[in-house]
Amino acid sequence: MRSRIVVPTVGVVLVAAVAAGCGGGGSNGSGSAKNGGTTAAAPTESNPPGDIPDNQAYVAYSPPGRGFIVKVPEGWARTSKGSATTFTDKLNRIELVPVQVSTAPTAKSVTTETVPALGHQVPKFAAGKVSVVSRHAGKAVLLTYRGDSAADPVTGKVVRDAFERYSFFHNGHEVDVTLSGPVHADNVDPWRIVTDSFAWR
């Protein structure tokens, strides 16, 4: 049975930006403002919590001796635990886990082995869909699911996360790429950039 490492996202950041301005002029004794009176300024652009900006830059990452390379968002914090490497920023997370296996993962093996394991690891786990998808590196088994993050150490707040877990395989080597963020965040394009950039070396 393959080992899996899943650590929910920790951290809650609420991002909002509102701008308002007003302008007016003097009067000629009539009490009315010149140039049409008060005018509101255009609102500052704001991304919902968890949305990765469209102008996010990406950098290549290749852990020594692991035989793969992948692009990750520039500036994200990197941590390592055992063979797993994790990149985090605010509410979003990318986890890379290389695994030595004898056979390639399949939709059936992910359904019968990985899903039950995650059910014991992820708070309030809810399985989604298992499918086989194509990326530049070839076929990958994709598992979507949802779960609760760990409580924020400061606020105690828990975030409901959406997960995409891709299992890539090549010559006895498997790498599980798990991407997660708040369920309402729209990170389809960033997650596609990351998973399309995965390549064996």
Q: How confident is the model at residue 40 (pLDDT cuts 50, 70, 90)?
A: low
- Dist CA 119 CA 115 (whole Å): 6
Percent above pLDDT 90 for the chain: 70
Query: Which pLDDT does position 74 carry in this prediction?
Result: 98
50-79 pLDDT, tens digit each: 899 999 999 999 999 999 999 999 999 999
Q: How many CA atoms lie within 13 A of 135 on its CB side?
A: 22
Q: What is the mean pLDDT of the chain?
A: 83
* Burial label, 117 (beta-carbon count in 10 A; 0-12, 13-18, 19+): middle
pLDDT in tens, 77-128: 999 999 999 999 989 999 999 999 999 999 999 999 999 999 999 999 999 9
- Pick the range with the lowest mean pLDDT from 18-32, 89-103, 140-154: 18-32
**Which pTM was predicted?**
0.76
Please give the pLDDT value at position 49. Answer: 77
State the DSSP string of 23-86: -----SSS-PPGGGS--PPPPPP-PPTTPPPTT--EEEE--TTS-EEEEEETT-EEEEETTEEE
Report pLDDT for 153: 82
Domains with residue ranges and CATH for the chain: 58-200 (3.40.1000.10)
CA 116 to the chain's CA centroid: 22
Q: Which residue has the higher pLDDT, 139 or 154?
A: 139
| Residue 27 binned pLDDT confidence (cut-offs 50, 70, 90) | very low
